[in-house]
Structure formats: structure tokens, C-alpha cells
């Protein structure tokens, strides 16, 4: 019987309240027995006597903070693991830099069957992405996935490898072509998510996919995560996770709640192969059969992203004078939401623009069952009153502060006008309205370091460029207590896991992170995760990886 008394720490035990700073409470010690929390409270003679009677090991934490294990509320695990193996172009600023970086990498990796890159943003190439800019670099297929994962820029050999020379556009996506119908090399939205993502996953060997999953879990452990909500699951990723789970003796060192990705459709009958598959798997992997390894719902893409003008806005883009419609019609979306809801699944709707946010709230409010805890992902541009509508319908606001980094939003005033930018990333509005907040990373589209992402959520300042002085809508900042709850209990609540994880409380699993930090938003950039514990076992130790 393993018993440990963790002492001389600051144990964050806030569970309820309105999330203001005065709600943050810290206790002095925590007793863990057989992977469960038996006590959190004052470090007094009584608890010391109880610990001694149980033969407990005493661990002195030297004044560190102890936080509930973070639960990344929006992550793409397989893609995260694979991204760790790709050439990262994020530091490039121009087409010449991109070309030189790829050329150098290609020369250094002559045996690689293809060249896989990530981190590209359209501003780096002045909004252009063409096969002619890549074809002379190397004869092997070149794939450049955008930082937001919504686009992929390919060479001609990559287009041919995928068999897309004359393929039709999928619903909700575009294979960009010239006037003669030749593929230009850019695939956006559903053309990327439904054609490129599966292809890149399939060309990897099963062993490579399992290795990528293992790398992803280790990366999450290193930032203090003990759980995640996987937000675009398919059979390829699920098979890799199941294989890894079997290799680890039937137990992953991190709990996973997965949403199955649904292909866009114009159908209004709610029929979907992916939905049928998700329903079947949820009957096998659920809170009763495997609470830490579940299919909890579906993921639906309602629009794209602002920077490529594919986010659905109520008013036209300032630069083009055009609007972009949501990917789904209200009728088609309502039918799928209704069918998933009746099957007991949670719906996660990707909605970045204000028109998509309205569509998503309407659909979940009209077709969702109260108490199902449906959710909307991103909510980057919303309208006044949306926060109250989220709260009224019990919809979780699933937010990713890394996307709110001001240095990434330099083009927004030109794209949408300064007035609309005043409603960007309205986290404080959602929280004040009473909506549940779940904080995630959206990795690998963004960094998955939780504490640094919370810095942006609480200060509205840039992590990427700390000299950048712009503060993005500071009135919508979350308090540190609100942000910490969003990354822990809020994410647990979003997937019905708050009864066994997400907080430091008696009777819950001993899932926690030991962090060297000061309790101020400004100090989060210096905060360091020292250890991560899952079910009372240490799964990450910074001292051993240094």
C-alpha cells in the first residue's frame, strides 16, 4: 500500500466560486494513498500522526505550488507527436528563408522519402502558395502544413502522391487551381483536414504512429498535463492509441476524452458514417467501461480561420468586401447535432467567426439536451450577448489563449476593422456570464505549454515576442484563479470528469503538477513544471530530463 505525504507546498484547492483572486486558496499538505487523494489541508499534528500510522513517505516540496494536473481542453495528439518530427518553419519570415531552410534540411536528410514541414503562415509568403515556389527545391514530395492546420502547401509531387490532380473539392474545402484546372499546390479547410491529414497519417507506418502518440503524451507530461480532450479523432489515431495502451499494460499514463471528427455534408437527415462510428465506439469506450479512455462526442468544423478569410463573419471582411458562409447549413448542422445528442454524445463545434458562433449556439440551444455539456471551440470573434447565451444553454466555452497572442493578430485590424477587433477573444465576458471555461492549446497549431498560455489569458500580452507592447482587449482578461480553473476543473467538467479529477480534493485521483512559480500572472513566463504525477505515480521529472 503506497502512501505519501506531500508537505511544505502550496496546494491549490479552490473548486467553487466566481473565480476572482480572493477565491484562490492554498493548503499546506496532501496525503496520497494508492493513487487517490485522502487528505488536503493544514499540515498539523493530526495529519502527521495519521501519515505515520500508515507508514507514509514524506516528500518535502520546498515551498513549490501544487496544482491539479492540467487537462488540455483541445489537442490533436497524433498530429502533435508527428509535428515534433517535422521541419519547423515558424521562425521564417519570407519565401527566401523558407526555401533555404527546406533546401538545407533536404540535403541533410537524403534518405527521407518526403519532406514534411509545419509552422508556415501565409504572411510569410505574401499570401501566396504555389507549386512553382517548391518544385525546384527537391524531387521528393514536399508538404508544408500551416501553423493553424487549416491549409497545406504542397509541391507537384505531393499533389500527385495524394492523387489530387483532378479530384473534386470536398464539401467545405478547396483544392486551389488555375484557370486551366491545374492544382496550384494549396489545399484549404476540408481539403486539408479530410485529404491531407489522413494521407500524412496513413503514409506513416503503424510503428511511427504509435511512436508519435508516445512522444505526444511525453510532451504533455512535461508541461504538467495529466489529461486531454482529443479534438479530431479518427480510426488511424484511435488505433495508434489503442496499440500504445496495450503496450503499456492496458493503462495510458494520461486520461483521454476523444471527439470523433465528422465530415461536412449538405445532407439534412443527420446520416454520417463518422457519426455512426462514433456512436458505436462510445458504447464500447465510455465512463462505465473505461473512464480514462473514452469516446465522448463528435467534432464539427463550422468555419475556417480569420487570417485566410475563411472564418464566417456576420459582416464582410474589410479587405475583400466579401463574407464567408459557414461550412454547414443550419438544417444540416441541426440534424447531426440532434442525432448525436440523442445518442448521448457531446458535440464540439469549431466556430471562430461571429457568424459561425451564432450558428453553433443556435444549433446547440435548439437541438441539444440540457445538461449534455456541449461545447464550442475557439470563439475568437463573438457578438455581445453570446456569453449569456452560452451560459443559458450550458455550453462550454472551449478557448485556446495561445491563439490570442497579440503578435499573431497584427493583420486583424486590416482584415476586420478595429471595431470588430474589440470583441476578439472575449474570455472575461464568457466567464462573467457564467459559462464553463475549458482551456486548451489546440496543439500542434499552437504551443502546448499551459503556464505560458495562461500568461496570455491573464495578461493579454504576447508570449512569442515579449517586447511587443500591444495588449489585446485587456478588459477580457481572466484572473489567474479563473485561468487555472479553466485549465483544470473546467476542462474536467466539460467532459464529465470532475467527479474523479481536475481538482485537489479528498476522494479524487492524485493527478497533479508540482510547479516552481509565484502566484501572479506576470510571473507565469518564469514558472517551471518540476514534476507531473498521474494516479499517484510520477510520470515526469524535470530534474531527470535536464
Instruction: Please name the residue ranges forming H helices in 136-247.
Output: 156-162, 190-191, 197-203, 206-221, 235-247
- pLDDT higher than threshold 80 for residue 22: no
pLDDT category at 18 given cuts 50, 70, 90 is very low
- Do 137 and 177 lie in one domain? The reply is yes
The confidence score (pLDDT) of residue 19 equals 47
Q: Which of 83, 121, 141, 164 is nearest to 447 (CA)?
A: 83
- pLDDT higher than threshold 70 for residue 396: yes
Say if residues 381 and 423 touch (Cβ distance below 8 Å): yes
Residue of 18 and 510 predicted with greater confidence: 510
On average, the pLDDT of the chain sits at 94
Which residue among 203, 220, 244 closes a domain?
A: 203
The confidence score (pLDDT) of residue 147 equals 82
CATH number, residue 106: 3.10.310.70
* The dihedral formed by the CA atoms of 169, 174, 178 and 180, expressed in degrees to the nearest 10: 10
If DSSP codes are grouped into helix, strand and coil, which group holds residue 127? coil
Q: What percentage of the chain has pLDDT greater than the value 90?
A: 87
- Do 18 and 110 lie in one domain? The reply is no
Q: Indicate the pairing of strand 87-88 with strand 57-60.
A: unpaired
- Do 192 and 135 lie in one domain? The reply is yes
Which residue among 203, 218, 240 closes a domain?
A: 203
Which residue among 184, 203, 222 closes a domain?
A: 203
- pLDDT higher than threshold 60 for residue 172: yes
pLDDT category at 148 given cuts 50, 70, 90 is confident
The confidence score (pLDDT) of residue 240 equals 96
Interval 420-456: pLDDT, tens:
999 999 999 999 999 999 999 999 888 999 999 999 9
Query: End-to-end CA distance of the chain, in Å?
Result: 31
**369 lies in some domain:** no
Poorest-pLDDT segment among 127-136, 165-174, 259-268, 467-476: 165-174
User: How many domains does one find in the chain?
Assistant: 2
**153 lies in some domain:** yes
If DSSP codes are grouped into helix, strand and coil, which group holds residue 233? strand
Average pLDDT of the segment spanning 208-236: 96
**17 lies in some domain:** yes
If DSSP codes are grouped into helix, strand and coil, which group holds residue 232? strand
- Do 90 and 51 lie in one domain? The reply is no
If DSSP codes are grouped into helix, strand and coil, which group holds residue 197? helix
Which cell goes with 43?
499540515
- Do 174 and 117 lie in one domain? The reply is yes
**21 lies in some domain:** yes
**429 lies in some domain:** no
CATH number, residue 57: 2.30.40
pLDDT category at 170 given cuts 50, 70, 90 is confident
Poorest-pLDDT segment among 147-156, 273-282, 336-345, 515-524: 147-156
**pTM for this predicted structure:** 0.90
Average pLDDT of the segment spanning 320-337: 95
- Do 110 and 147 lie in one domain? The reply is yes
**218 lies in some domain:** no
- pLDDT higher than threshold 90 for residue 23: no
Say if residues 396 and 377 touch (Cβ distance below 8 Å): no
If DSSP codes are grouped into helix, strand and coil, which group holds residue 65? strand
- pLDDT higher than threshold 80 for residue 20: no
Interval 44-73: pLDDT, tens:
999 999 999 999 999 999 999 999 999 999
- Do 113 and 58 lie in one domain? The reply is no
If DSSP codes are grouped into helix, strand and coil, which group holds residue 196? helix
- Do 140 and 176 lie in one domain? The reply is yes
Poorest-pLDDT segment among 5-14, 185-194, 379-388: 185-194
Average pLDDT of the segment spanning 144-157: 90
- Do 24 and 131 lie in one domain? The reply is no
- Do 191 and 94 lie in one domain? The reply is yes
Q: Residue 482, Cα to own-chain centre: how many angstroms?
A: 18
- pLDDT higher than threshold 50 for residue 374: yes
Average pLDDT of the segment spanning 334-353: 98
Cα distances from 288 to residues 11, 65, 255, 542, in angstroms, run 30, 33, 14, 34
- Do 133 and 40 lie in one domain? The reply is no
**E strand or H helix that includes residue 47:** helix 45-53
* DSSP character string of 10-23: EEE---SS---GGG
Domain range spanning residue 140?
86-203
The confidence score (pLDDT) of residue 546 equals 64
Q: Which residue has the cell 513517505?
A: 57
* DSSP character string of 456-522: HHHH---SS-TT------GGGPPPHHHHHHHTTHHHHHHTT-TTTSSS--TTSB--EEEEE--SSGG
- Do 135 and 49 lie in one domain? The reply is no
Gap between the Cα atoms of 27 and 396, Å rounded: 29
**152 lies in some domain:** yes
**155 lies in some domain:** yes
Name the phi and psi angles at 246, rounded to 5. Answer: -65, -40
Amino acid at each position: 500500500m503506497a502512501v505519501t505525504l506531500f508537505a511544505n507546498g502550496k496546494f491549490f484547492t479552490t473548486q467553487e466560486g466566481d473565480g476572482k483572486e480572493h477565491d484562490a486558496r492554498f493548503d499546506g499538505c496532501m496525503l496520497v494513498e494508492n493513487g487517490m487523494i485522502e487528505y488536503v489541508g493544514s499540515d498539523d499534528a493530526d495529519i502527521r500522526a495519521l501519515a505515520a500510522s500508515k507508514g507514509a513517505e514524506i516528500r518535502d516540496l520546498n515551498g513549490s505550488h501544487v496544482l491539479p494536473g492540467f487537462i488540455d481542453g483541445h489537442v490533436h495528439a497524433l498530429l502533435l507527436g508527428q509535428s515534433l518530427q517535422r521541419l519547423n518553419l515558424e521562425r521564417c519570415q519570407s519565401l527566401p528563408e523558407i526555401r533555404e531552410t527546406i533546401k538545407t534540411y533536404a540535403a541533410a536528410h537524403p534518405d527521407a522519402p518526403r519532406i514534411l514541414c509545419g509552422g508556415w503562415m501565409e504572411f510569410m509568403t505574401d499570401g501566396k502558395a504555389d507549386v512553382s515556389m517548391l518544385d525546384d527545391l527537391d524531387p521528393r514530395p514536399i508538404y508544408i502544413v500551416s501553423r493553424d492546420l487549416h491549409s497545406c502547401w504542397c509541391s507537384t509531387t505531393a499533389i500527385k502522391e495524394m492523387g489530387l490532380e483532378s479530384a473534386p473539392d470536398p464539401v467545405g474545402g478547396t483544392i486551389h487551381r488555375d484557370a486551366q484546372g491545374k492544382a496550384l499546390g494549396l489545399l484549404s479547410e476540408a481539403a486539408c483536414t479530410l485529404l491531407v491529414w489522413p494521407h500524412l497519417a496513413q503514409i506513416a507506418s503503424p510503428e511511427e504512429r504509435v511512436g508519435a502518440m508516445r512522444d505526444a503524451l511525453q510532451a504533455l507530461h512535461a508541461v504538467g498535463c495529466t489529461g486531454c480532450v482529443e479534438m479530431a479523432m479518427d480510426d488511424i489515431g484511435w488505433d495508434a492509441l489503442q496499440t500504445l495502451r496495450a503496450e503499456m499494460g492496458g493503462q495510458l499514463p494520461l486520461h483521454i476524452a476523444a471527439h470523433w471528427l465528422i465530415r461536412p455534408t449538405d445532407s439534412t437527415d443527420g446520416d454520417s458514417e463518422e457519426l455512426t462510428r462514433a456512436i458505436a465506439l462510445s458504447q464500447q469506450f465510455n465512463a462505465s467501461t473505461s473512464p480514462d479512455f473514452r469516446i465522448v462526442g463528435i467534432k464539427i468544423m463550422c468555419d475556417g480561420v480569420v487570417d485566410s478569410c475563411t472564418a464566417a463573419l456576420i459582416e464582410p471582411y474589410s479587405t475583400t468586401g466579401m463574407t464567408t458562409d459557414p461550412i454547414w447549413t443550419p438544417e444540416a448542422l441541426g440534424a447531426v447535432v440532434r442525432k448525436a445528442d440523442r445518442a448521448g454524445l457531446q458535440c464540439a463545434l469549431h466556430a471562430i467567426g461571429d457568424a459561425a458562433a451564432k450558428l453553433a449556439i443556435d444549433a446547440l440551444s435548439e437541438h441539444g439536451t440540457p445538461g449534455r455539456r456541449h461545447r464550442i471551440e475557439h470563439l475568437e470573434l463573438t457578438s455581445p450577448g453570446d456569453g449569456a447565451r452560452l451560459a443559458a444553454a450550458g455550453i462550454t466555452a472551449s478557448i485556446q489563449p495561445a491563439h490570442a497572442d497579440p503578435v499573431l493578430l497584427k493583420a486583424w485590424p486590416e482584415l476586420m476593422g478595429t471595431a470588430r477587433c474589440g470583441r476578439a477573444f472575449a474570455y472575461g465576458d464568457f466567464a462573467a456570464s457564467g459559462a464553463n471555461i475549458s482551456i486548451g492549446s489546440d496543439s500542434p497549431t499552437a504551443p502546448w505549454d499551459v503556464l505560458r498560455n495562461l500568461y496570455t489569458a491573464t495578461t493579454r500580452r504576447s508570449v512569442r515576442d515579449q517586447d511587443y507592447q500591444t495588449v489585446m482587449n485587456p478588459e477580457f482578461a481572466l484572473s489567474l484563479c479563473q485561468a487555472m480553473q479553466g485549465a483544470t476543473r473546467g476542462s474536467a467538467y466539460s467532459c464529465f470528469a470532475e467527479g474523479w479529477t481536475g481538482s485537489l480534493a479528498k476522494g479524487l485521483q492524485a493527478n497533479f503538477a508540482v510547479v516552481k512559480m509565484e502566484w501572479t500572472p506576470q510571473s507565469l513566463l518564469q514558472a517551471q513544471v518540476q514534476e507531473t504525477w498521474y494516479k499517484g505515480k510520477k510520470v515526469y521529472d524535470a530534474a531527470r530530463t535536464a
